[in-house]
Amino acid sequence: MGTLANRSTVFKYVVLITLSMGNFFFTLDGGMVSIGFPVIAEAFGTGPSLVVWVQSAFWLTSVALVMTTAWFADVFGRKRMYIAGFTIYAFCLALPFFSPDLSTLIAIRAVQAIGGAMSLASGMALATAAFPSDQRGKVVGIMSAPVGLGLGLGPWFGGILLDLFDWRALFWSRSLPTALLVVVTLFIVPSDRRSPGRVQLDYLGPFVLAGIAASLLLAINFAGRGGIDQPFVWVMAGLVPFLSVLLFMVERRVPRPVLDMALFKNRVFSVATASLIFHFIPQGFIIFMGAFFLLDGVGLSAAKAGLLLAAFQAFRVFIAPAIGMLSDKIGTRWPTIAGMAVMGMGFLFLSFLGVDSSLWLIGIGLGVAGIGSSIFETPNTSDIMGSVPRERLSAATASFTIGRQVSLSLGITLGGAIYVLRETAWQGRLAADGLTGSALATGAVGGAFADAMLVAAVISLLGVVVTSMRGRKLAGV
């Protein structure tokens, strides 16, 4: 068949669009699953602090494997890795239909993440390798365009499916379309050349990194469920610094580390990566608690709740390209500071709302936070990628992906812990005021959501301080 680089321009764009559809399918996942958190919790008779692992297991597994699968793709072929990963992903979408309990569902999601990591590690490489280097920015833009669309439509699509069927539809409804896309990709995307020689892998680093994230999330999760005085919480918390030191020692000695520690000597890269963490943790709050607030508190249908949550992502499609061009002219410092500040103001606005608030006001709060997020992301990503030498772009991309996934996982776990703690506190307070029944339940949900949004606002505003430390210009540029 020949390599893609030798094909016509039209055919290259057909392949590029096909690979972009894969990105769209992947990004639908987060929004569709998050809108189903309350329904899944009710179906299995559990609470928010346990159902959160349906998403956390997926993100943690992908973090552990994304770099390893990328290295395997270089040796065994990116198309092979992409097709194999997408096949696993599609197959696992059908399995939740038969899931008898929450533990099985979480295990299925972890296996599904293996397929996701295999495909994510190969898709962008397949696309960029087909075009000249001077068109790489355009290729990345086209590959990234469906991300905002998927993030925005995911909650809405998921809500419609929940209203029509049950939580299982969030998964099986995507199985056949994903399988069809695998077939299309198999026939359209030409095979790529494999790299000769043996691959040098960082076998230990990914698992140590996943261990750090898992220990931290488990400590937060169990603290939210039963308090910080549990021995298990202290053991998990104690593992975090121990494993962090181990990761530092391991990554300094391997030829291809999962985290290139040398990159963090660059101030711009370090500050931009830290800013990314402060940006995605509050987003995790919304991903997790938005559905509980709108479904259990406000009492909306799943479809209406999903449409309202889409306001957080809806502006990304329009704002991100414009901000990207603006930051090319005026620099990245002020757009990133402004974006983080606007996002914080959106969360602060939401902290003053309750279950009886107008849907317009809730939509405005979500929209303002989403606008701030959209303003921040493009210039901050530009800082991360522009502050490293060209030959280390893959390492920078890995750091970005790991930072985003771990931060989102931390956000939904921390948000879930705060939600559970504050909901219990509000139930006691409102019961003392004489509220009972549904008024007590919805009032506690609204109070817990408001408290969590206040914490999200504080984290965002701390992010403003961190973001301002990057300086006015990229180091070395």
185 and 216, same domain (yes or no): no
- Lowest mean pLDDT, pick from 236-240, 261-265, 275-279: 261-265
Same domain membership, residue 408 and residue 275 = yes
Residue 477's pLDDT is: 40
* Residue 58 located in a structural domain: yes
The pLDDT tens digits for 406-428 are 888 889 889 888 988 888 888 88
Domain end: 216, 236, 253, which one? 253
Residues 240 and 273 in one domain: no
Residues 239 and 266 in one domain: no
Q: Are residues 178 and 57 in the same domain?
A: yes
Domain shared by 20 and 164, yes or no: yes
Between 218 and 473, the higher pLDDT residue? 218
- Rounded-to-integer distance, Cα 260 and Cα 300, Å: 46
CATH code of the domain covering residue 440: 1.20.1250.20
Residue scoring higher pLDDT (374 or 180): 180
Among 190, 221, 243, residue at a domain's last position: 190
104 and 183 in one domain?
Answer: yes
Res. 145: pLDDT tops 70 = no
The token pair that represents 101 in the structure block: 């309990």
Asked whether residue 476 is domain-assigned, the answer is no
Give the count of domains, the chain. 3
Q: Is residue 239 part of a domain?
A: yes
Same domain, 312 and 442: yes
pLDDT digits (tens, 9 = 90+) for 307-330: 998 888 777 777 777 777 777 777
Domain-located, residue 195: no
48 domain-assigned: yes
In a domain, 475, yes or no: no
Whether 238 and 269 map to the same domain: the answer is no
From 214, 231, 253, the end of a domain falls on 253
pLDDT of residue 397: 67
Task: Please tell me the predicted confidence (pLDDT) of residue 383.
Answer: 80
Cα–Cα dist 424/405, whole Å: 29
Nearest-5° Cα angle at 108, 104 to 110: 115
Q: Is residue 176 part of a domain?
A: yes
Say if 196 falls within a structural domain: no
Looking at the fold, whether 214 and 269 belong to one and the same domain comes out as no
Domain check: are 235 and 130 in the same one? no
Q: How far is CA 288 from CA 48, 208, 216, 359, 461, in A?
A: 9, 26, 18, 19, 20
Say if residue 293 is in the same domain as residue 242: no
Q: What is the residue range of 125's domain? A: 1-190
Q: What is the pLDDT of residues 8-42, one digit of tens each?
A: 677 788 888 888 888 888 888 888 998 999 999 99
Could you give the C-alpha distances from 78 to 120, 197, 286, 397, 415, in angstroms and in order? 10, 15, 35, 17, 37
